[in-house]
Amino acid sequence: MQISNYLTNEHRECDNHFAEAEKLISQGNWQDGEKKFLEFADDTLRHFKKEEDELFPLFEEITGSSEGPTNVMRYEHEQVRGLFGKMAEAIEKKDKDIYLSLCESMMILLQQHNMKEEQMLYAMCDRVIPPQKKSEVIEKMEAVKE
């Protein structure tokens, strides 16, 4: 399996959770909306952990660069983590306007980040990481819990 396929599929799953949470909360269904939001947040944060703990270090080791794209991706992960906190706060206060406004920012921030990963970083990973190591890193990422 290619790294790009594996991680791109995870992006799509997170998108689905996000869209469902947004829909439920826009309809005023806070209980189910919160559940979906938590699934979205958990899956996204686990995905970040897989990248930061397993994929990025391997990529940096092979390319000899820790100042490059992986650094930028880590920085963007931090920006997304910051927004999760604000969205959770809006859910706690049951403030629909603020939640939906934060959804807008989250979606653009996350999507432009995902696109850069899918179109550049993952493609680079698939190119520079040898097949054997590729399978190993996917197994390690599979094992990441939270």
Partner 1 sequence: MFHNKGLSLEQAPPISVVFRFFLVGAIFGVIEGIWILFQGKDAINAYSNTGLVTTHLFTLGIMLSFMLGALFQMLPVVAGVSFKEPVKRAIQTQYPTLFGTVTLLFGLYYDSALAYSIAGILLLIGIMPVAFEMLNRLIALPNHSASSRGMGFAIYGLIFTISLGLVLIAIRSGWSADYYPAIRDSHIAFGSIGWITLLIISVSFQVIEMFYVTKSFPKYISRYLPASIAFITTLLFVISLNSDITSNIFYFVLYLLTAIYSLVAIYRLIKRKRSVNDATVEFWLIGLSSLTLFSILGIIYSFDFNSLSILMAMKILFPVFATSIIFAMSYKIVPFLTWFHLNAQGYFKAPMMHEVINPKYAKIHLYIHLLSIFLAVISVSIPYFWHLTGAVIVISFGLLLVAIYRAWHIYIATEQSGEKFEF
Q: For residues 23 and 133, which CB has a smaller minimum distance to partner 1 in the complex?
A: 23
Q: Enter the tokens of residue 7.
A: 């991680």
CB-based burial label for 96 (10 Å; 0-12, 13-18, 19+): middle
Query: Which residues contact partner 1 by CB under 8 A?
Result: 15-16, 18-19, 22-23, 26, 63, 65, 68-69, 72-73, 75-76, 79, 82, 97-98, 100-105, 107-109, 111-112, 115-116, 119-121, 123-124
Closest CA to 72 of 54, 51, 43, 86: 51
Q: How near is the Cβ of 109 to partner 1 at its closest, in Å?
A: 7
Residue 144 in 3-state DSSP? coil
Q: How near is the Cβ of 145 to partner 1 at its closest, in Å?
A: 27
Q: How near is the Cβ of 62 to partner 1 at its closest, in Å?
A: 12
Q: For residues 24 and 138, which CB has a smaller minimum distance to partner 1 in the complex?
A: 24
Q: How near is the Cβ of 139 to partner 1 at its closest, in Å?
A: 26
Q: For residues 55 and 121, which CB has a smaller minimum distance to partner 1 in the complex?
A: 121
Positive or negative: CA dihedral 28, 32, 34, 36 = negative
Q: How near is the Cβ of 88 to partner 1 at its closest, in Å?
A: 15
Helix 96-116 vs helix 3-26: crossing angle, to nearest 10: 170
Closest CA to 133 of 66, 68, 57, 70: 57
Q: For residues 29 and 144, which CB has a smaller minimum distance to partner 1 in the complex?
A: 29
